[in-house]
Each structure stands twice: as C-alpha cells, then as structure tokens.
Amino acid sequence: MIRINDIIDRIVENNPDADVDIVDRAYIFSARVHHGQVRLSGEPYLTHPLEVAYILSDMNLDVVSVAAGLLHDVIEDTHATEDEIREMFGKDVLHCVSGVTKLGKLSFGSAQARQAESIRKMLLAMADDIRVILIKLADRIHNMRTLGFHKKESKKRQISQETLDIYAPIASRLGIYWMKKELEDISFMHLMPDRYAEIERRVSQDRVERENYIETVNDKIREEMEKAGLKCEVMGRYKHFYSIYQKMAKQNLNFEDIYDIIAFRIILGTKYQCYEALGHLHDLWKPIDIKFKDYIGRPKPNMYQSLHTTVIGPKGQRIEIQIRTQEMDKVAKSGIAAHWGYKEDRRMDEDITQRFAWIQNLIENQESFNDPDEFLENVRIDLFPDEVYVFTPNGEIKTLPKGATPVDFAYMIHTEVGSQCIGAKVNRRMVPLKYELQTGDVVEIVTQQNHNPSKDWLGFVRTVKARSRIRQWIKTQDKNRSVSIGREMCEKRFRKHKLNFAELLRSDEMAGVVEQFGFKSVDDLLASIGYGKVTPLQVVRKFQPREEEASEGEAAQPSWLMSRITGRKRPRKPKTGVKVKGHDDILIRFGRCCQPLPGDRITGYITRGHGVTVHQAGCVNALKMNPDRQIDVEWHHEKAETFPVKILILSHDRVGLLADLAANISKNGANIMAANSETRGNNTVESRFTLAVRDTQHLDKVLAAIRKVKTITEARRIKT
C-alpha cells in the first residue's frame, strides 16, 4: 500500500526544492473527509487518492497536481465544498479538482449522452489546463487496476470499452505510452478474457527460449556498438498483449506469424549517435526497407522521437529495433509530462504549447456536434494515432490522419479553400480528390470561386473538420429547401381554413407559436414542417384551437422526405420489428451497412421515397447523414422474428470443420442464409456466414458456441 511518505519522497527526489507542505495538508484533509468510506476491494477509500497521487508524483508533476490528485474525489464523494478547497489550498488546486470531479451526478437521457458530455468537458479542461487530464488519466488507471472487484460483468465491459475508446487514445496522443499500454491490456483482459488468456499462455509457453534469444541479440548489439565506440544501453521487451491481438486481427495472422513479439531498444547520448548506430545495425543485419521510420527528423505531434527499423536478425528472425537518446526515451515514457512547465506559476513554454495545438483544434472541431454518437465517433477519429506528413508547395509540413485526401488537406488550410476545391496536384501531377495522401507528398489545391462542396466527399474524407464543414453546407442547403416547402405547405393548409398565412407570419401571435414549438425562429419552424417533423395542421390548431380535428384525419407525417412512405390510412402493427415514434404503418428497411439487431441501439433516417432506414446508432454511414432527417425509432418487442447478421470465423483447417460449424449454428437455433469459406496460407480458413438470429443475445449465444469448436481462433460479428 502506498503511504504519504512514499509520495513526498518521490517528489523531493525529482525536485529537491519542491514545497511539499501543500501535499501533506491535502493528505490530512483527504484522510479526514474520506474517513469511513470503503472501496469495492474492501480497502479504505483513502488508498485510491494515495495511489493516484503517487502515479502523478512518479510522472514528475508539480505539487499542485499531486495535491489535486489527493483531493480529486472530495467534492463529489464527501461533504467538502469548493469554498473549503479554495480557502485551504488555493485557486490552482481547486481548478484542477473541479476539472477532474466525476460526472456521476449529471443527468442525461442515455449512457451515451453522459459519456459524450464527460468527454467533452474533459477535452475542454485539457485545452484549459493539461494537468486536469493527467490527473484524470491517473485516476482511470488505478480504477482499471482494481476493476476486477466489480461484481457485474456488464459494468466491467462498459468501463473497459470506454477506456479503450477514449482514455487509451488520449494517453497515446499525449505521448504517455506506458499508460496507454496498461490501459489497453487491462481493458482487453476484461472485454475478451479468452483471447487475452490464450495470448498470455502462448507468450509464456516459449519464454525460456525467447529470454535466451533476447540475451543473444542484446550481447550482439552491445558488441557492435562497443566496436564503433558508442556507449549505449540495450534492452529487449515483450510487445503488450493488446498490440499482439490487434496485429493478429487486422492482418489475419496466427500467433506464430507475429515476428515482433520481442522488440529491442538502444539508448544513446546524442541524436547523431542514433544515426551512426543505425548505420552499424544495417551493416550487421539486413534491413527491411519499408519498415524504416525516422521519427527523429519528423517527430510525432505528441513529441515522440525515435528511429524505428526492422532487420533480419539471428536465426533469420525479424526483429524490431528502436534507437533514441536518453531525453527522447524520457519523452517516450512520459510524453507531455516530460516537458512540464508548471513551476512557480509559469505556464508551459511556447514550443510545447505549439506542439500540442492539436488539443485546441480538437475542441474547435467538436463544438458543432450535439448528437452524442456523432461526437464520440469524431473524437475517436481525432485521436486516431496513424498519421501521414505532407508538404505545402512552400515546404510547410502538415500532419493528417492516415487515409486523408486532398479535400482533407484543403480544409486544413482553410474552410473556403476546402469548399472551393475542384482539383489537386500531388507531386506536380493531377490526382483524384479521393486519392489517399502518403508521407512526403507535396500537395497543391486547385480552387474555383463560387464552387460548393459535394455530398460525395463525405464518402472519402477522413478529418473531422472536413466532414463537419461539408455536412454543415449540406444541412444549410436542405434547410433552405425545407423552409421553402414548409412555407408552401402552410399556405395551402391555412387557405383551407380561411386564414391568411402571409399576414399571420408577421404577427406577434406567430412569434408565440414558434416559441411554443420550441424553435428560435419562424424559419426553423418552417424547416421542421418541410422535414415532416411538424405538420401544418399542428400550426393551424394553434390559431384555431377549437377546430374539429376528426374530419382532417391527418397524422403527423413527413412531407417531401416522407412522401409515399405510408401505405395505408388505417394504423397497423409494424411488420418489421421496428416502430417509428408518432407514426403508424410506415415503410421500414434496415441499413445493409450495419444490419441492426434487436438489442442494438438504433436510429432512423428519413429517405426520400423509401420510408425510414434503420441503422445502428453508431453506424458510420448514419453519422454522415443530415441530422435533421433523423427520426426516433424503437424495437417492437412483441414481434418474434429473425434478422440477418454477418459473422466472420477464423480457424485452422481440418477435416469436418464446416460440418461442425453448421451443426453448432443449427443446434443454437440460428439459420444459415449464406456461407463462404476460403482456405488461406499457413493452413488457416476464413469463413463468412450470414445468419438469421432473433436478437443480440441470440447472436452472442451462437458466437459463444462457435468459439468452442475445435481449432476456431476467432468468431465475431462484422459489417458488410
């Protein structure tokens, strides 16, 4: 168990002149207000803030951060108030504690909305004061270390998925790789315990042989460096389990095919020695050209610097080697914390602030997203680690996510450049706008005044800024059209009721009606009528409240977007297992891209002439659509029917494999609608099935049964 003396000793070791009095007082206060509280592990609650504070002190953070780590839960979980914290510890500590305070008391309509708001506040706090997110990460990593004490498996999976989606990528973006790896491995262990245990077993199986191999390679590298007069430190390490799993899943590899389970690191004194050592290694062992990366000459945005090379080492095995200086190694381990500048009230120096300008850009990109699913999806895109480095014609380097296109580049330069983009030259040659940029490309954008974005661009842009600006333009166009249609519909309906719509439109009474419907302007109300979310009759009723309604027979149905989607006037129960809130007997179809099942969170989108298309709430294609076309849908639980779903099965080949698979699928009540099986190299088989299942629980049962079949290595749901 961590003690306060351990924390203070660590602070003094890193900074002998540090004023530890504030840390000591924070400990006493935290111990007093948390007295009597117990964690799920049965330990006193105080163990948690002590562990968090020790992590922060070990990262060489300032005393304000460590004190805030000791106090980070007191406002929410005890009787302590913000005024007390400010009076006793100062405004800086209060600022950090308030920023980290958990959001459990906030009330939102869904867990997704709660998570989105939590992340949004976290990102805003990160832009305001980076210490807040570092404390939050320390809090999360200790909570993950004790996650096993949760009794509910669903809760463990929920927390692990959130950690994998949000916290690990943020740690990566901040360059704190030890934290990223630990968060990923613990999440992996709880989300896929069978796969985790299998990889752990396989790594341990040949550990003695690998340890001998590590020692052989280390000795050979040291010997070569000594010959060259290069004083260095050499170490071998195992790749973390989640990284091994990702490589197996993405590249469809067996464990035996993963060549870089062991990686080596060489630590030298200077940058020039790194390049010299690289030359000697390539002279000793044959390099694999496409695996070389120079992150010293071209550092990552999170300040990470290192030379990466892969060579054919002893026994013909591929080995990955990283070469860096001691300072670079410090940054690689601690990220932004290695360049800490919060001492004696000084903010981070200008160079570090510029390096982390992506935080402010991320905030600006997210401001316009209100839908929690869309917000979370775009945060994941912004935190995506793979990047390419391209050049402007003037030689300025721009960093873009892998797969980015000239359109993404154009929007990065300026919104108007993106909107007016009609073509692009890469390395002086014209390329399609959907061309995927590569590191080293020189990009020049061709523009034309009064040109507008194309909806088709949404199919290939990769940056949140490009996507949001294109969607904003499409939404504006759709809204203008909907306002016009809504106005026309109202004029017809008002004439039928002998009312002058043009005259009423300018009246104070109309302003009151707009407010009653919850809109800010008349145009917003008209647009909603054009979209079909409000009917003209509903507006008429506000002016003629006693109007007989029965004779009208008008349901609240959409107009130009909902045309021809109601087949009958008599309400009937839905035939599809899905019902649209507020509408009866509407044509429903399911998105082929995500194939939703009962149990999935779903959303509906009005499609012209085709009724309502139902997608999974997080479907990428659904997120590309205009949010004004979105309509609430829900599963009709009384319906008992089956739905198609695609699954992928990876296995080792053997006689009778497909027969055993078919038998297990049938035995668990699922019907095989389509099947395709292909034998690949290394005696592996990739099988794709389309099954008819009742819901997500039924699918989970089928997948669990499949995983128990002999030689099966993976079975999971996939999209088309």
- Active-site residue list: 76-77
Question: For residue 198, which phi and psi values (nearest 5 degrees)?
Answer: -65, -45
Q: How far is CA 650 from the centre of its chain?
A: 26
3-class DSSP string for 295-328: CCCCCCCCCCCCEEEEEECHHHCEEEEEEEEHHH
> What whole-number distance in Å separates Cα of residue 597 and Cα of residue 611?
19
**Side chain identity at 338, as an amino acid letter?**
A
Greatest extent of the chain over all pairs of C-alpha atoms, in Å: 99
Dihedral-angle region of residue 518 (phi above 0 means left; psi in -120 to 50 means alpha; beta otherwise): left
> What whole-number distance in Å separates Cα of residue 47 and Cα of residue 68?
15
The DSSP symbol for 164 reads: I
**Side chain identity at 174, as an amino acid letter?**
L
> What whole-number distance in Å separates Cα of residue 646 and Cα of residue 719?
7
Return the residue matching tokens 């920023």.
Answer: 99
> What whole-number distance in Å separates Cα of residue 3 and Cα of residue 50?
7
> What whole-number distance in Å separates Cα of residue 403 and Cα of residue 381?
11
Q: How far is CA 281 from the centre of its chain?
A: 38
The DSSP symbol for 653 reads: -
Question: For residue 586, which phi and psi values (nearest 5 degrees)?
Answer: -95, 140
The residues pairing with 633 across neighbouring beta strands, listed in sequence order, are 580
Cβ atoms of residues 210 and 239 within 8 Å? no
> What whole-number distance in Å separates Cα of residue 309 and Cα of residue 296?
13
Residue 489 tokens, joined: 């519909």
The DSSP symbol for 600 reads: B
Q: DSSP secondary structure string, 349-375?
A: PHHHHHHTHHHHHHHHHHTT--SHHHH
Stated as kind and residue range, the H or E segment containing 425 is: strand 421-426
Instruction: Collect all residues with Cβ–Cβ distance below 8 Å to 684 and sequence separation of at least 6.
Output: 252, 254, 650, 651, 652, 653
Instruction: Collect all residues with Cβ–Cβ distance below 8 Å to 511 and sequence separation of at least 6.
Output: 522
Q: Is the dihedral of CA 589, 591, 592, 594 positive or negative?
A: negative
